[in-house]
Amino acid sequence: MPKISIDEVKKLAKLSRLEFSQEELQKFTSDFEGILNYVDLINKVNTQNVDLKEKAIDAEEDLRADIITKSLSQDEIIANAPLSEDGAFVVPTTVEEGGQ
């Protein structure tokens, strides 16, 4: 049975770029443990002779030619941005002045 600690859940939350309150973390950890115990069922499937080394979909040979076509305009793309300026997305400073 897989076990999961609250610290592991915290680490996962960080990887997922999600924040939880202490109370949410508690509930989450217990729900998570239940789900993990359930999905442990996959170990009851005998997969000894299964080879995954083949392509996942048949369509892989149907790649289209790499031709430039008209796509959305800059204005159309930027229209949904929460914050933009002069046709660019605005983000907080990511590289300090004089930094790398």
Partner 1 sequence: MDYLNKSLFEIKELLESGKISSVELTKMCLEQIKHTQNINALISVCEDFALKTAKRVDEDRKNGKKLGALAGIPIVIKDNINLKGTKTTCASKFLENFVSPYTATCAQKLIDADAVIIGKANMDEFAMGSSNENSAFGAALNPKNTMCVPGGSSGGSAASVSAYQCFGALGTDTGGSIREPASFCGVVGLKPTYGRVSRYGVVAFASSLDQVGTLTRSVKDSAIMLEVISGQDKNDMTSSAEKVPNFSNIKSDIKGLKIGIAKEFFNENLNEEVKKSLDDAISFYKKNGAELVDISLPSLDKALAVYYIISSAEAASNLARFDGVRYGVRAQKFSDINDLYFKSRSQGFGGEVKRRIMLGNYVLSSGYFDAFYRKAKKAQKVLKQEFSAAFSKCDVIISPTTANVAFKIGEKSSDPLSMYLTDIFTVPINIVGVPAMSIPCGKNKDGLPIGMQLIAKQWNEEMLFRFGEIFEKNHKEAKNV
Return residues touching partner 1 (CB under 8 A).
Answer: 9, 12-13, 15-20, 28, 31-32, 34-36, 38-47, 50, 52, 56-60, 62-64, 72, 76-77, 79-83, 89, 91-94
Residue 97's identity, in one-letter code, is: E
Rounded to a whole number of angstroms, the minimum distance from the CB of residue 13 to partner 1 is 7
What is the maximum span of the chain, computed from C-alpha positions, in angstroms? 58
Of the two residues 93 and 98, which places its CB atom closer to partner 1 in the complex?
93
Q: Which CB, 52 or 68, lies closer to partner 1?
A: 52
Give the Å distances, CA to CA, from 61 to 55, 58, 65, 85, 89. 10, 7, 11, 42, 36
User: CB 8 → partner 1: shortest distance, Å?
Assistant: 8
Q: What is the DSSP string of 54-70?
A: S-S-GGGGGPPP-----
Rounded least distance, CB 36 to partner 1, Å: 8
Least Å from the CB of residue 77 to partner 1: 7
